Amino acid sequence: MNTLLAVIIGAATVYLGYTFYARRIDRNVLQPDARRATPARLYMDGVDFIPTSRNVLYGYHFKSIAAAGPIVGAITAAALWGWFPALLWLMFGVFFIGWASDYSAIMVSVRNDGNSLSAIAHQLIAPRTRRILLLFIFFYLLLVAGAFVNLIAQVLAQPHVPLGIIMLAVMGALAGQMLYRWRLDLIAVTLITVGVTLAAILLGGTVGGPVEGFFKGFNAGLNTLTAGQPVTTVLDPTLPADRQNVPLMPSFMFWLFGTFVFCYLGAALPIWRFAQPVNYIGFWITALTIFFGGLGAAIAFVIRPDLASFKLPAYVDFLGPESVRAAGAFQPLWPMLFVTIACGAISGWHALFGSVGTARQIENETDVLPVGGGAMFSEFTLGLLSLMAVAIAIPGPAVARFAEGVGSFLSVFGLPAEYGRAIAFAAFVVIVITVVQLVFRVMRVTLAEGLGDRMPAFRNIHVGIIISIALAFLLVVTGVWIYLWQLFGASNQLMASLSLLIVTVWLIATRRNPLYAGIPMLFMYITTNAAALVTAYNLWNTVFLRNLGVPGRELAVVGSGLMIFVALLLVGAAVLIGIDGYRAVQRYRAAPGPQPAPAPTS
């Protein structure tokens, strides 16, 4: 296998999936009407409901959904089972399931006054379903936050990365002011903000330069606060025995809290002030990396064949590599492949955020497919680029392999390797941090919606954000990362199946053909519940029992116990929601004639 063939396969998947399948469903089943007023135009409030150009909204939505899932997920899956199963799941997942989930969740929300999935479930299925779904969503998002902020802090602790991310925050705040207060031209704002951010990324990536030297000294100074000793450690049973205690240094803690500050701004400020412009700039950084990285991968086959050949095995074993089995972990290809690649093929975060964020900015119903479906197909290309990068790169940590591989593809254009790696590292952080800020935004909305009536303090946005950040911090410093990632993946894909369940019930209630959503829903529902139980078993067998009562391993016991509890809680909630959904389907099928859409809720 080589990179040129992979690029051709990816291009064919996007073209055929969007042109011949997605457009057909859009035209024949959902039937968007440009004349129907959308919630963004009906309830324009300048905070959440804002009619937005499809060109801006596509970039915003793409950058709001594209995170670490298609990068770390594809790299991890290729290492466990080989690049061929990972490639197949990326292709068939996005073609039949991924775009359908994203697009449908946005359209159903647009058709129901911009309500969230939980509010729609309340009216469409049962009041109990809303309460259970809110509980599910909060703990699911907690896993997302814990998995992602851990990765961000690790990369930011490297001295050549922070400057570009700091500049992203500054340029994002400036772009919001320029676009919505000064009313400047979008092209001019894009050139200025994206150009300055890219320049900062390249300046920070100069090996031996003053910026790298400053941050290297800064991190070293932080670490001297504890005489070079870690603040705490977490256990990673996938590493050799002498390296299982992974240190969390003061520099890591500093950038972890810096990540939380960035996310606090994105969650607390009006959407136009920070989150939307930051994600818009992030879209261009990501898009340029994907485009030129993919183009370089294709060209490399002709001019640098040493960079084009896949070095990873196509297939390893259904149960994964021998080293994993020797550690006592159970990692069968089914169901674990489908949750390890947590995005790129399908993602529950996409549907959840699309319904509470993007749906409230849709200007015309005809924009839903290019924004929702188009962004999902675009994220598939990020997963494919990540798979190619790891397949040709040297062994090492996931993010480093991504940066090494993408840097090699960019070197085809004559860009020095150090700058190519700097762009890839910065692109990774941009990709992830711009999503995590929105995760905390949705978490505080979920807390307000679920507990605000009983405890008014949760209606305060700052209370909700601080509680969410505190719980995510606890998960990071007590968790076992590889299982935290897979549990996040299981809950993420389980969220996707639940969103497809709501879409399926709505399609049946409104007498539309539900098969395009219903069949993927059943597959994902069964697969992801099984994966969550497998992960809980792995945590119990390889971490909790082995460290229970062992001095110095208390954090591992607490972290694994917490994750086992969350895994079982999510499975239980999903079973109850599935029962409610089945009853709703039976009710709507028994009723004569088309049923009205759910009544608007606040």
Q: What is the mean pLDDT of residues 414-424?
A: 86
Quote the pLDDT of residue 245: 57
Segment 123-179, tens digit of pLDDT: 899 888 888 888 888 888 888 888 888 888 888 988 989 999 999 999 999 999 998
Of 108, 100, 574, 535, the closest CA to residue 345 belongs to: 100
pLDDT higher at 228 or 142:
142
Q: Is 232 helix (H, G, I), strand (E, B) or coil?
A: strand
What distance in Å separates the CA atoms of residue 536 and residue 484, rounded to the nearest whole number?
A: 10
What distance in Å separates the CA atoms of residue 192 and residue 348, rounded to the nearest whole number?
A: 34
How far CA 9 is from CA of 15, 75, 78, 100, in Å, comes to 10, 18, 17, 20
Report how many helices (DSSP H) and strands (DSSP E) the chain contains, helices first: 27, 2
pLDDT of 399 strictly over 90: no
Tokens found for residue 262: 């960035």
Of 346, 440, 362, 357, the closest CA to residue 137 belongs to: 440
Placement of tokens 């840097």 in the chain: 407
Confidence of residue 227 (pLDDT cuts 50, 70, 90): low
Quote the pLDDT of residue 234: 56
How far CA 29 is from CA of 22, 510, 517, in Å, comes to 10, 11, 11
pLDDT of 506 strictly over 90: yes
Segment 69-81, tens digit of pLDDT: 888 888 889 888 9
Segment 528-545, tens digit of pLDDT: 999 999 989 988 888 888
Quote the pLDDT of residue 147: 81
Quote the pLDDT of residue 600: 46
pTM over 0.75: yes
H/E stretch holding 391 reads helix 374-392
Q: What is the mean pLDDT of residues 428-437?
A: 87
pLDDT of 219 strictly over 60: yes
pLDDT of 599 strictly over 50: no
pLDDT higher at 187 or 453:
187
Query: DSSP per residue over 503-562, as a string?
Result: HHHHHHHTT---HHHHHHHHHHHHHHHHHHHHHHHHHIIIIIHHHTT-TT-HHHHHHHHH
How far CA 421 is from CA of 195, 403, 409, in Å, comes to 18, 5, 10
Quote the pLDDT of residue 241: 45
Confidence of residue 230 (pLDDT cuts 50, 70, 90): low
Residue 303 backbone phi and psi in degrees, to 5: -105, -20
Query: In terms of residues, how long is the chain?
Result: 602
Confidence of residue 11 (pLDDT cuts 50, 70, 90): very high
Segment 25-62, tens digit of pLDDT: 999 999 999 999 999 999 988 767 889 889 888 988 88
Quote the pLDDT of residue 581: 93
Percent of the chain with pLDDT over 70: 93
Q: Does domain 3-590 have CATH number 1.10.4160?
A: yes
Q: What is the mean pLDDT of residues 196-201?
A: 94
Q: What is the mean pLDDT of residues 229-233?
A: 63
What distance in Å separates the CA atoms of residue 70 and residue 76, rounded to the nearest whole number?
A: 10
pLDDT of 276 strictly over 90: no
Average pLDDT, the chain: 87
CA torsion, ordered 278, 281, 286, 289, to nearest 10 deg: -150
pLDDT higher at 432 or 466:
466
Residue 363 CB contacts under 8 Å (≥ 6 apart), including other chains: 38, 40, 41, 51, 52, 53, 54, 57
User: On the CB side of 407, how many CA atoms lie within 13 Å of its CA?
Assistant: 22
Residue 564 CB contacts under 8 Å (≥ 6 apart), including other chains: 536, 539, 540, 544
